[in-house]
Structure 1
């Protein structure tokens, strides 16, 4: 009788342990489960700005080609990728059509982004770390003109009712990707009015939806 009771208790504990382990695995699976949100290319924008040492600047836009982000059960972005169509680069500050076309053509040439050979710039999101309610630190890899480098920047992100909205100002040291044209650090003979700042800005507004 005692042997039967002991055997029954062993079975009960074994089943309970297996159930607890199963529930633990299920909870862990739920915590790591993510959903894909597609980038809305019509609502997403990339604005760029480049400056010269003498103080003048140019600015314009580049279209977002496509992309998606993964969002976990807590409403946090985990990973993602955004592809930027470099062939769509525009200038907005030059009102003279001829000068505008000349600048855009120069940016598209192999002095800069070589868009014929490298039409897409890709940003791959590796991690998004919350800092406050809507602020995060984004870490990832930026692939531009065939070279990939790590990049990190602060951003404001909200996830609400199936829509992800992210905004950030990203400063990029172009020389790390081999873009040395007009850099005073590489061409010492350049006068101040010819020197182009190594850093340029990208102001991102990205919208993604389920």
Structure 2
């Protein structure tokens, strides 16, 4: 029994020794969001990354990672000509109808598996936690590493209702007029830069 535990410990130490940790460059990284109405109109903006890191094995393959988003930084970009409406929209998104940032100031994504698809493309699976709920998601991503800098890019589609975000959903509120219905799915455009 002791021999088995010792062997497992040696394996963990050996594996760790060959792993590299890349810290997220929060200034170079970005998370863009885009939400849609049933009528086809949309709003878009950004959210800042608070911190994060990824693990890379001795072959240079991405093996694990986690990053945290600061929900209090949610912003809008398409309503710059209407400061009042822009402020109203951001306040609504930050409020209890949506992300309730006072109660849930951060969202977290934790990688659970990465499967290579081609030279630079991988299938990422992980757990997304927001507004206190965790659900699995998966998406294709392009990952490249050059001179100690790793860059990952992905377009992620999220069904918000799985996290209880039902405001304006035509699937839950059948009486809503078409111009009031907000799509259940929104997009996150990720660009993550990590350095040794």
Match of 1:98 in 2: 84
Unaligned stretches of 5+ in structure 1?
A: 1-21
What's the TM-score, normalizing by structure 2? 0.91
Q: 1:174 aligns with which of 157, 160, 171?
A: 160
Q: Deviations over 1:3-44 (max 9, x none)?
A: xxxxxxxxxxxxxxxxxxx9xx88x93598311110000000
Q: Does 1:109 align with 2:95?
A: yes
Runs of 4+ in 1 over 2 A off after TM superposition: 28-33
Size of the aligned set, in residue pairs, is 186
Q: 2:66 aligns with which of 61, 76, 81?
A: 81
Match runs of 1:18-167 below 5 Å: 29=14, 33-94=18-79, 95-167=81-153
SS in 2 for 1:86: strand
Is residue 32–residue 72 contact of structure 1 (8 Å, CA) maintained in 2?
Answer: no
Structure that is richer in helix per residue: 1
Instruction: Give the structure with higher Rg (CA).
Output: 1
Unaligned stretches of 5+ in structure 2?
A: 1-6
Residue 118 and residue 30 in structure 1: after superposition, are their counterparts in 2 closer, same or farther (change >3 A)?
A: closer
Structure that is richer in strand per residue: 2
Match of 1:13 in 2: none
Is residue 76–residue 159 contact of structure 1 (8 Å, CA) maintained in 2?
Answer: no
Q: Distance in 2 between matches of 1:54 and 1:183?
A: 13
Q: Distance in 1 between matches of 2:20 and 2:148?
A: 10
Q: Distance in 1 between matches of 2:52 and 2:15?
A: 24
Q: Distance in 1 between matches of 2:43 and 2:74?
A: 12
Q: Does 1:185 align with 2:171?
A: yes
What's the TM-score, normalizing by structure 1? 0.85
Q: Does 1:206 align with 2:192?
A: yes
